[in-house]
Amino acid sequence: MCGIVGAVAQRNIVSVLIEGLRRLEYRGYDSCGVAVLGARGPSRARSVARVADLEGQVRDGHLEGVTGIAHTRWATHGAPVTDNAHPIFSRDALALVHNGIIENYETLREMLRGKGYEFVSQTDTEVIAHLIHSLYRGDLFAAVREAIAQLHGAYAIAVLHKDQPHTVVGARQGSPLVVGLGDGENFLASDALALAGSTERFIFLEEGDVCELSLDGVRIVDRQGEAAQREVRQVAAYGGAVELGPYRHFMQKEIFEQPRAITDTIPQADAFDASIFGEGAGQVFADIDSLLILACGTSYYSGLTAKYWLESLAKIPTQVEIASEYRYRESVPNPKSLVVVISQSGETADTLAALKHAQELGHKHTLAICNVGTSAMVRQTELSFLTHAGREIGVASTKAFTTQLVALFTLAATLAKLRGRLNDEQEAGYLKQLRHLPAALNSVLALEPQIIAWSEEFSRKEHALFLGRGLHYPIALEGALKLKEISYIHAEAYPAGELKHGPLALVTEAMPVVTVAPNDALLEKLKSNMQEVRARGGELYVFADTDTKIVNGEGLHVIRMPEHYGLLSPILHVVPLQLLAYHTACARGTDVDKPRNLAKSVTVE
């Protein structure tokens, strides 16, 4: 994934930039580069190999400077070749690095071509560089502000100009950017981790912020152009891989990283194309007549959600099994079934064994959906889709789950298209919805204070019931799993229609009933199920889409979600459940990131 580092100092800053890139390497990247300002403008080194190679180039080329920017690129627009590697230049006067995707880059490119700008890369980034250059009138900060007003999409950028030798300007929207404060020097990065060792004082920029780094300070304005006072946070240098930043626990950090993780996971292609799943996927997808999904725990629940998508969108029969069950049961193999294994770690013993078992039974087509590209699961499957959640440290999986859902929705849409069940308009609509997801997630994350208020109540309970229907039943399961594994409250989930077949007997005022209430076709049925709970004195805690019109009442507590998000709604609805589990666990004082008896990677049976 892409990473940014920038610095303004009075010393040669190249080693700080390279070290920053090295710290971001764990995210994965396919090219990297660094640019510094000299008397005649910016000069750069770029590599399609590793940061170590870039470092060699910098040393051999005697690249030195006091103001600079650097980047690790994970190719989106354009192949991982040197011309597409950042920093991208505009007319040898301006250098820019960028994380994210500019959706209207084609329109802007045409407009800039009309003004005589020549494009030498396939990147969307090059339009930002030329746009800022075209607007530059002696004030880089002003030019950046004017330029970003014309950008649609997600970005974090760092930019420098030859006429402002001690200035780096940054801006963010949809991608993180953090300012590091030094003594007579200042820094910029996409992750505080990149600057460990250079500073421990950070400002986490907010959406829409633009900043200007100089030797003696940092100027920040918000989206409206008003001077913004942002909190300076002390983040202790952490020699390990990932920083906690302003968060209390990694789980909280990872919940809040979801917009970024999803941005990085959404396929960059303009179409649902089989090639997203690897070479030969088109042929495999044409060969199959069904899917067999195998996974454990949270990954299993993402598979259960996918079944709804695969059967409704692609009309392809889909079976989902817990890996530890499948591996020991006598099943009837279907060689025309695609075996899909889902795993955050790619090392889960049961899932690996189930995969092997399926292969031994004669299943020849296999696909891994996994967060670790180097894992055994990816190596042992024919096809793969890598989620880009980044390292997940909290034992309770959060961002890995939502990125798995993005991958699985992409699979369902791709198969639907291949099977002639998705027209161009629908395809464009789903792609648009996917790209809007990070913004929608941000609005759900903003519900945290309301969820904290509920968590106080939950922390005093010993049992909880979760209800969902249809596509959101697996989300209820996931919510219950999150609550039990980190707060140790006994939680169970049911499809709401099952209540009257048994679990209703458990409902009393001491048993909070969490209800996932999207505004979908099953809403009226769900409302009847809620009545059944109320009639028995049960207290309902409902996450309701705004357009359901469900409001607070006696024994009915409601948190309003955004408007219904269609088929992708589960990805939004799971987030408040993660937050509820997290804050309930905090209120109970458990070890959130390392819950008792559990491990992150389950490599034993």
Give the active site residues.
2, 600
Query: C-beta of 290: minimal distance to ligand F6R in Å?
Result: 22
Residues β-bridged to residue 384: 368
- Residue carrying structure tokens 């999150």: 482
Which C-beta is closer to ligand F6R: that of 4 or that of 376?
376
**Mapping DSSP to helix (H, G, I), strand (E, B) and coil, where does residue 48 land?**
coil
The binder of ligand F6R chosen from 397, 455, 584, 590 (CB under 6 A): 397
What are the strands of the beta sheet with 168-173, ordered from one edge? 88-90, 94-102, 153-161, 168-173, 210-213, 218-221
Rounded distance between C-alpha atoms, residue 442 and residue 247, angstroms = 16
> Restricting to residues 558-587, which ones interact with ligand F6R according to CB under 6 A?
none
Prior bond to 87 cis, omega within 30? yes
Rounded distance between C-alpha atoms, residue 391 and residue 371, angstroms = 8
Element (H, E) at 153: strand 153-161
The binder of ligand F6R chosen from 67, 198, 263, 343 (CB under 6 A): 343
> Restricting to residues 347-366, which ones interact with ligand F6R according to CB under 6 A?
348, 351
Which C-beta is closer to ligand F6R: that of 397 or that of 584?
397
Residue 345 engages ligand F6R in binding (rule: CB under 6 A): yes
Query: C-beta of 402: minimal distance to ligand F6R in Å?
Result: 12
Query: C-beta of 598: minimal distance to ligand F6R in Å?
Result: 8
Query: C-beta of 263: minimal distance to ligand F6R in Å?
Result: 21
CA 22, 255, 407, 343 torsion: positive or negative? positive
Question: Which stretches of 94-185 are assigned E, i.e. beta strand?
Answer: 94-102, 153-161, 168-173, 178-181
Query: C-beta of 205: minimal distance to ligand F6R in Å?
Result: 30
User: Tokens at residue 490, please?
Assistant: 């006994």
Query: C-beta of 264: minimal distance to ligand F6R in Å?
Result: 18
Rounded distance between C-alpha atoms, residue 434 and residue 103, angstroms = 13
φ, ψ at 161 (rounded to 5°):
-135, 145
Count, residues in the chain: 605
Select from 11-19, 343-351, 440-448, 526-534 the region that touches ligand F6R (CB under 6 A): 343-351
Element (H, E) at 286: helix 281-287
Chain position whose Cβ is nearest to ligand F6R: 297
Query: C-beta of 540: minimal distance to ligand F6R in Å?
Result: 25
Burial 437-457 (b: 16+ CB within 10 A, else e): bbebbeebbebbeebbebbee
User: Tokens at residue 506, please?
Assistant: 């458990």
Which C-beta is closer to ligand F6R: that of 187 or that of 466?
466
> Restricting to residues 294-333, which ones interact with ligand F6R according to CB under 6 A?
296-299
How many of the other CB atoms lie within 10 Å of CB of 356? 12
Which C-beta is closer to ligand F6R: that of 348 or that of 487?
348
Which C-beta is closer to ligand F6R: that of 47 or that of 298?
298
Which C-beta is closer to ligand F6R: that of 447 or that of 602?
602
Taking alpha carbons only, the member of 121, 115, 154 closest to residue 135 is 115
Select from 167-175, 260-268, 339-347, 527-535 the region that touches ligand F6R (CB under 6 A): 339-347
Taking alpha carbons only, the member of 224, 192, 217 closest to residue 205 is 192
Residue 602 engages ligand F6R in binding (rule: CB under 6 A): yes
Q: How many residues bind ligand F6R (CB under 6 A)?
A: 14
Which C-beta is closer to ligand F6R: that of 352 or that of 413?
352
Select from 128-136, 224-232, 241-249, 291-299 the region that touches ligand F6R (CB under 6 A): 291-299
> Restricting to residues 466-485, which ones interact with ligand F6R according to CB under 6 A?
481, 485
Residues that bind ligand F6R (CB under 6 A): 296-299, 343-345, 348, 351, 396-397, 481, 485, 602
